[in-house]
Amino acid sequence: MSVKNLTLDQLHTLKLFYHLPKPSRWVSISEGDNSHEMPFPTLLDCLNEVQDDIGFFIELKYPSELENGEYEDSTMFDANQFSDVILSLILKHCGNRKILLSTFEPDLCIMLQLKQNQFPVMFLTQGKTEKWPPYKDLRTKAVETGISFTKAEGLFAICALTENLLKNEELIKMCHEKDLPLLSWGMDNDNHDNLRILTEKGLLGLIYNR
């Protein structure tokens, strides 16, 4: 069963472990009395418990239509209701915290931009890649198109799959020329040489696994 099909109460009953390589062993992360260290905190928990001088990068996951006509998930909430619930919670409990909102779904990006003016909104895109199935929406098919969409809608920034930026550095130049902040994400960012290259190219931020 997928994690997405479990309720919050069910998630909290799971016995979870992580692997330590040296010496090789599995360590429980779901036992103990410290509720702050338990997995699967809610957004409200994070907003209330994490000191508000620490900024949040919040990605809204919403199913998009694939090029073959199928959706990433067959069950979904109404996008308006979905965004309203999350924004209401954030606005009520954010305090002085700096928050960056983002999503891969172009229409949801527009909603987030129009529904509030307190937090910047960033468009996430995978562009052209063989790693995952392409989306149907033309705004997602290439980083160039994503850049134009981001500028046209007045979004704060675009975050592109690193694979695209390494293959075509003109995309980085295009963002600089349009005065559009550029970030990158993807497994290629786990390579320190790639991080160095992108940092030298003047990207605003890099998303990677530590």
Model pLDDT, residue 23: 85
Tell me the CA distances in angstroms from 99 to 41, 122, 140, 151, 197, one per residue in order: 18, 11, 24, 20, 27
Alpha-carbon distance of 15 to 17, in angstroms, equals 7
In which domain, by residue range, is 2 found?
1-35
Confidence (pTM): 0.91
For residues 113 and 53, state if they share a domain: yes
At residue 133, what are phi and psi to the nearest 5 degrees? -60, 145
Orientation angle between helical segments 143-152 and 170-177, nearest 10 degrees: 10
For residues 18 and 89, state if they share a domain: no
Report how many domains make up the chain.
2
Alpha-carbon distance of 148 to 132, in angstroms, equals 22
Can you list the positions of beta strands (E) in the chain? Answer: 17-20, 25-28, 56-59, 99-103, 121-125, 157-161, 182-185, 205-206
Return the biggest CA–CA distance within the chain: 53
For residues 53 and 107, state if they share a domain: yes
Q: Are strands 25-28 and 17-20 parallel, antiparallel or unpaired?
A: antiparallel
For residues 52 and 135, state if they share a domain: yes
Burial class (CB in 10 A: 0-12, 13-18, 19+), 80: exposed
At residue 32, what are phi and psi to the nearest 5 degrees? 125, 170
Q: Are strands 182-185 and 205-206 parallel, antiparallel or unpaired?
A: parallel
For residues 49 and 96, state if they share a domain: yes
For residues 28 and 74, state if they share a domain: no
For residues 89 and 171, state if they share a domain: yes
* Each residue's pLDDT expressed in tens, for the chain with a length of 210 residues: 778 789 999 988 888 888 888 888 998 887 665 666 678 899 999 999 999 999 999 999 999 999 999 999 888 889 999 999 999 999 999 999 999 999 999 999 999 999 999 999 999 999 999 999 999 999 999 999 999 999 999 999 999 999 999 999 999 999 999 999 999 999 999 999 999 999 999 999 999 987
For residues 62 and 8, state if they share a domain: no
Model pLDDT, residue 18: 81
- CB distance 134 to 66 below 8 Å: yes
Model pLDDT, residue 38: 76
For residues 22 and 117, state if they share a domain: no
- The one-letter amino acid code at 173 reads K
For residues 199 and 152, state if they share a domain: yes
Structure tokens at 161: 């799959």
- We report the CATH number of the domain holding residue 73 as 3.20.20.190
For residues 18 and 122, state if they share a domain: no
Model pLDDT, residue 3: 80
Single out the residue of 134, 130, 185 nearest to residue 158, CA to CA: 185
For residues 182 and 113, state if they share a domain: yes
